[in-house]
Amino acid sequence: MPPESAPRPEPSPTPAPGGRPRPPTIYDVARAAGVAPSTVSRTFSRPGRVSAGTAERIRAVAAELGYRTNPLARALPTGRTSVIALVVSDITNPFYAEIIRGAQSAVNEAGYVVLLVDAQESDRLEREALERALPVVEGVVLAGSRMSDSAIRMTAKQRPMVVLNRDVADLPSVLTDNVHGMRLAAGHLAGLGHRSVTYVAGPEASWADGTRWRALRDTAGGLGLRVHRIGPYPPTVAGGTAAARDLGRYGDPAVIAYNDQLAIGLMRGAQAAGLRVPQDLSVVGFDNVFGAELVTPGLTTVAAPLRAQGRTAVRNLLAMLAGARPYGGPPAVLPSRLVLRGSTARPGRPRPGTG
CB of 16 to DNA, least distance (A): 8
Helix 26-33 / helix 37-45 crossing angle, nearest 10 deg: 110
x/- letters, 20..59, toward its own copies (CB under 8 A) = xx--------------------------------------
Identity of the residue numbered 242: A
List residues near DNA by CB under 7 A: 5-6, 8-9, 11, 22, 25-27, 34-39, 41-42, 44-46, 49-51, 53-55, 67, 69-70, 73-74, 76-78
For its own copies, the binding residue among 79, 221, 222, 328 (CB under 8 A) is 79
Nearest residue to 63 (alpha-carbon basis) of 90, 78, 43, 84: 43
Q: 5 or 150, CB closer to DNA?
A: 5
Taking each helix axis from N to C end, the angle separating 37-45 and 52-65, rounded to the nearest 10 degrees, works out to 90
Please, what sign has the CA dihedral across residues 59, 62, 67, 69?
negative
CB of 53 to its own copies, least distance (A): 28
Sheet holding 226-230, edge to edge: 226-230, 196-200, 254-257, 282-287, 300-303, 337-339
Residue 333, classified by CB atoms within 10 Å of its CB into exposed (0-12), middle (13-18) or buried (19+), is middle
291 near its own copies (CB under 8 A): yes
- When CB distances are held under 5 to 8 angstroms depending on the partner's kind, the choice from its own copies, DNA, none that residue 22 binds is DNA
Count residues near its own copies (CB under 8 A): 56
Q: Which does 5 bind (CB under 5 to 8 A by kind): its own copies, DNA, none?
A: DNA
Residue closer to its own copies (CB basis): 38 or 296: 296
**What is d(CA 62, CA 81) in angstroms, rounded to the nearest whole number?**
21
- 42 or 188: CB nearest DNA: 42
Comparison of 200 and 277: residue with beta carbon closer to its own copies: 277
Of the candidate spans 90-98, 165-173, 188-196, 280-288, the one that interacts with its own copies by CB under 8 A turns out to be 90-98
Task: Compute, in degrees rounded to 10, the torsion defined by CA atoms 304, 308, 311, 312.
Answer: -80
Enumerate residues 115-154 that contact its own copies by CB under 8 A: 115-118, 120, 125, 128-129, 132-133, 135-136
Residue 296 engages its own copies in binding (rule: CB under 8 A): yes
| 7 versus 77: smaller Cβ distance to its own copies | 77
Residues interacting with its own copies, by CB under 8 A? 16-21, 68, 70-73, 75-76, 79, 81-83, 86, 91-92, 94, 97-98, 100-101, 104-105, 108, 111-118, 120, 125, 128-129, 132-133, 135-136, 157-160, 237, 264, 290-291, 294-296, 326
